[in-house]
A = this chain, B = another copy of it.
Amino acid sequence: MKIGEAAAASGVSAKMIRYYEDIGLIDAPPRSASGYRHYREEDIHMLLFVRRGRELGFSMPQLRTLTSLWRDKTRASADVKRLANDHIATLNARIASLQAMADTLKTLARQCQGDARPDCPILDALRQPQADRSQPQDHSGQK
């Protein structure tokens, strides 16, 4: 299978397949006499594996570890689980960070009249020193 077919079959662009090979994430496939890369079913599985890992938000270093675990038939599932749990923690942190931004903005937007007048608590908040801007309607202290 040539690279174009491999790309179509795996959903990874030919460009990225070459890149992944370049950085050593996937093995270099055999070449034809004229230099064309030649992929087998197994290679397509690897590309699908990488693509799905990316879709789950794994970083390239994590993916490197994941693929080596995948190839290692004697791996311990605990190693995979630990990596997954690490990644879940990372995702949760990013979610919390984005959620904090959204919460702040929601509060500010709620306070903004949104009419033709120039007064705007959103701009005010950006102008002034950092104040506690998180959900002021809730004074119970629970997050």
Residues 11-61 of A at the B interface (beta carbon under 8 Å):
45, 48-49, 52-53, 55-57
Decide if A98 touches B57 in the complex (CB within 8 Å).
yes
A side interface size, CB within 8 A: 53
Partner of A92, one of B45, B78, B102: B102
Decide if A77 touches B120 in the complex (CB within 8 Å).
yes
User: A interface, by DSSP: helix, strand, loop or mixed?
Assistant: helix
Decide if B115 touches A78 in the complex (CB within 8 Å).
yes
Residues of B within 8 A of A80 (CB): 112, 120, 122-123
A2: CB under 8 A from chain B?
no
A136: CB under 8 A from chain B?
no
Residue of B nearest to A116 (CB): B76
